[in-house]
Amino acid sequence: MSIAELQNAAGQLAERERAAFALWLLDTLPPHDGEDGCLEGIAEAVRRREELDTGQSRPLAAEEFWASIDRERLAWK
C-alpha cells in the first residue's frame, strides 16, 4: 500500500481514530536519541533568531500558521 493510499484511508477515519492511529504510528518509531541533532538544532535556532532580530525574516502570526496547516491537511485528501 502506498503512502497516498494510507493517507487517504486514514483521512476517512473519525478524528479520535486518526489520533489513535497517529499515536500508534509514532510508537512504532525507534526511541529518540537526544544526541542525534541537538547541536545542529541549537545552531538552527540561533540562526533563525538572528534572522528575526535583523529583519531578514518576519514572525508568523498564529492565524497564518494554522491556515497553512489547514491548507496542508486539505492537500492530503
User: What grid cell was written down for 8?
Assistant: 487517504
Residue 60 lies in a domain: yes
Residue 77 lies in a domain: no
pLDDT score at 76: 84
Please state, rounded to an integer, the average pLDDT across all residues of the chain.
89
- Outline where the chain has alpha helix (H): 3-11, 15-27, 38-54, 62-76
Structural domain span for residue 9: 3-72
Residue 53 lies in a domain: yes
pLDDT above 70 for 25: yes
The number of folded domains in the chain is 1
Residue 12 lies in a domain: yes
Pick from 4, 5, 9: which is nearest to 21 by CA?
A: 9
Q: What is the pTM of this model?
A: 0.44
Residue 8 lies in a domain: yes
2-14 confidence digits (pLDDT tens): 999 999 999 999 9
Q: What is the mean pLDDT of residues 10-33?
A: 89
